[in-house]
């Protein structure tokens, strides 16, 4: 895909903080949940940006903030040069015509009291598209054909369809306004594996036919690798690594990304048995009280006594990696063609100068211990390690 020089979507310093309120008679704010805390990213026209990370890291909140479905606390969302965060009223409504979303739960996102014809015609009528009644009817039949559903589906209701068919209806509704940007929030996570492949193929076909730009939010690393041009990795509200998809999967540089990749099953029993697994000890910290310095340092096997605990790392390109055309090596510009990582010791980790600590050593610093499950399976899991079945036992 050929992308224009200026990204279609640019996010700069985006923050979404939700207040924590307490009080009997008068609510008072006692803190904030930092769901998204200073994210920078850019998406070129006609490309797919995959956003991955474990549950609770802020992926879905970021996607909703781009569309102003939740209000950003700070930062800018530049869509085709316009700051979406500054729009109000009618200008925002017109801008949303160019940005649509496919929601994670296909049943929950569709009104159970509306049939398919009503669901698909509503956005067209709201934005004055499709002409009269006959024009809208032709447009709806074309949408159903585009997503592989028969015209007989028009009179049916969401509960009468399978999960994959409901997701196709959601996709048809999202593309009905002919948007430029489509945000897909876990578009296949609730579907069977065979149906996942069909929906992913449909998204790729629609992108090629309609020239769509995608932001795909997912935790399935295999799906993200298949569909994405660029991948960003989130942890606890921040972006910790971003790179072209193949570069990220071939050489992950951030310790958290390495741990995620090591947890992906390999369909080869010999390789699966021998490959290195990176075990993460401890629980995910609370976004209401994130750790100081590097947010991953409480679980990181490569944590050092200096810098990690008190200095926040910035996304940067490492020495030895080729910078993108006309891009300064350590610029803060999150250009999608560059491999950026937010880790103080990424060069030393990459070159093998620093060796990882064991899960037991990392856990000991947090007051927990890691034990392998015995043959009798005689103890319960207090918190699971990333991608393994070994439990952590509290002291």
User: For the segment 191-236, what is each residue's pLDDT rounded down to a tens digit?
Assistant: 788 788 888 899 999 999 999 999 999 988 888 988 999 999 999 9
Q: Residue 386 pLDDT > 50, yes or no?
A: no
pLDDT of residue 220: 82
Residue 15: exposure state from Cβ atoms within 10 A (0-12, 13-18, ≥19): middle
Instruction: Using pLDDT thresholds of 50, 70 and 90, give the confidence band for residue 380.
Output: very low
Instruction: Using pLDDT thresholds of 50, 70 and 90, give the confidence band for residue 390.
Output: very low
Between CA 301 and CA 362 the distance in angstroms is 6
Helix 133-146 with 116-126: angle, nearest 10 deg: 120
Residues 230-274 have pLDDT tens digits of 999 999 999 999 999 999 998 999 999 998 888 777 777 777 677
What is the average pLDDT value for the chain, to the nearest integer?
83
Between CA 235 and CA 243 the distance in angstroms is 15
Residues 48-104 have pLDDT tens digits of 999 999 888 999 999 999 999 999 999 999 999 999 988 888 899 889 899 999 998
Q: Which of 22-31, 176-185, 345-354 has the lowest mean pLDDT?
A: 22-31
Q: Which two tokens stand for residue 259?
A: 């741990």
pLDDT of residue 129: 84
Q: Residue 25 pLDDT > 70, yes or no?
A: yes
Q: Record the pTM.
A: 0.84
pLDDT of residue 370: 52
pLDDT of residue 330: 37
> In the chain, what percentage of residues exceed pLDDT 70?
86
> In the chain, what percentage of residues exceed pLDDT 90?
50
Instruction: Using pLDDT thresholds of 50, 70 and 90, give the confidence band for residue 319.
Output: low
Better pLDDT: 19 or 325: 19
pLDDT of residue 44: 94
Neighbouring-strand partners of residue 216: 50, 184
Between CA 223 and CA 145 the distance in angstroms is 24
pLDDT of residue 365: 67
Contact between 365 and 357 under an 8 Å Cβ cutoff? The reply is no
81: left (phi over 0), alpha (psi -120 to 50) or beta: left
Q: Residue 324 pLDDT > 80, yes or no?
A: no
Residues 348-361 have pLDDT tens digits of 999 989 888 877 77
Q: Name which of 52, 62, 51 is nearest 17 in CA terms.
A: 62
Q: Residue 363 pLDDT > 80, yes or no?
A: no
Domain residue ranges of the chain, discontinuous segments joined by +: 1-22+30-98+182-228, 108-178, 265-321+331-337+345-395
Between CA 102 and CA 175 the distance in angstroms is 9
Better pLDDT: 387 or 117: 117
Instruction: Using pLDDT thresholds of 50, 70 and 90, give the confidence band for residue 26.
Output: confident
Helix 163-175 with 116-126: angle, nearest 10 deg: 20
Q: Name which of 267, 337, 256 is nearest 301 in CA terms.
A: 256
Residue 251: exposure state from Cβ atoms within 10 A (0-12, 13-18, ≥19): middle
CATH classification code of 1-22+30-98+182-228? 3.40.50.300
Instruction: Using pLDDT thresholds of 50, 70 and 90, give the confidence band for residue 383.
Output: very low
| 9-22 and 74-79 strand pairing | antiparallel
């Amino acid at each position: 895909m050929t992308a224009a020089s200026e990204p279609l979507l640019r996010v700069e310093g985006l923050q979404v903080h939700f207040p924590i309120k307490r009080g009997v008679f008068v609510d008072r704010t006692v803190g904030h949940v930092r769901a998204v805390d200073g994210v920078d990213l850019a998406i070129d026209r006609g490309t797919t940006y995959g956003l991955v990370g474990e549950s609770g890291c802020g992926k879905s909140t970021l996607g909703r903030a781009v569309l102003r479905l939740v209000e950003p606390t700070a930062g800018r969302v530049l869509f085709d040069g316009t700051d979406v965060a500054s729009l109000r009223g009618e200008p925002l409504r017109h801008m949303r015509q160019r940005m649509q979303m496919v929601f994670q739960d296909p049943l929950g996102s569709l009104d159970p009291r509306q049939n398919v014809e009503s669901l698909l015609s509503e956005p067209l009528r709201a934005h004055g598209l499709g002409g009269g009644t006959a024009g809208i009817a032709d447009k709806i039949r074309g949408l159903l054909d585009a997503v592989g559903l028969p015209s007989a589906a028009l009179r049916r209701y969401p509960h009468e369809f399978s999960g994959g068919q409901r997701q196709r209806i959601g996709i048809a509704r999202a593309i009905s306004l002919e948007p430029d940007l489509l945000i897909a929030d876990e578009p296949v996570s609730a579907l069977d594996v065979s149906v996942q492949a069909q929906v992913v193929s449909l998204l790729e076909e629609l992108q090629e036919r309609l020239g769509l730009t995608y932001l795909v939010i997912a935790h399935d690393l295999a799906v993200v690798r298949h569909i994405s041009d660029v991948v960003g990795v989130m942890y606890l509200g921040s972006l910790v690594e971003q790179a072209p998809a193949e570069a990220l999967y071939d050489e992950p540089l951030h310790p958290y990304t390495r741990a995620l990749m090591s947890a992906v099953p390999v369909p080869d029993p010999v390789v699966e048995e021998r490959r290195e697994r990176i075990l993460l000890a401890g629980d995910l910290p609370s976004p209401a009280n994130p750790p100081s310095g590097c947010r991953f340092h409480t679980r990181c096997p490569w944590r050092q006594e200096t810098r990690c605990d008190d200095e926040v790392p910035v996304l940067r390109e490492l020495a030895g990696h080729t910078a993108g055309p006309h891009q300064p090596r350590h610029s803060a510009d999150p250009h999608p063609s560059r491999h950026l990582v937010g880790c103080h010791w990424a060069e030393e980790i990459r070159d093998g100068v620093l060796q990882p600590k064991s899960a037991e050593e990392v856990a000991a610093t947090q007051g927990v211990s890691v034990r392998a499950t015995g043959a009798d399976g005689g103890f319960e899991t207090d918190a699971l390690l990333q991608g393994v079945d070994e439990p952590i036992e509290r002291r």
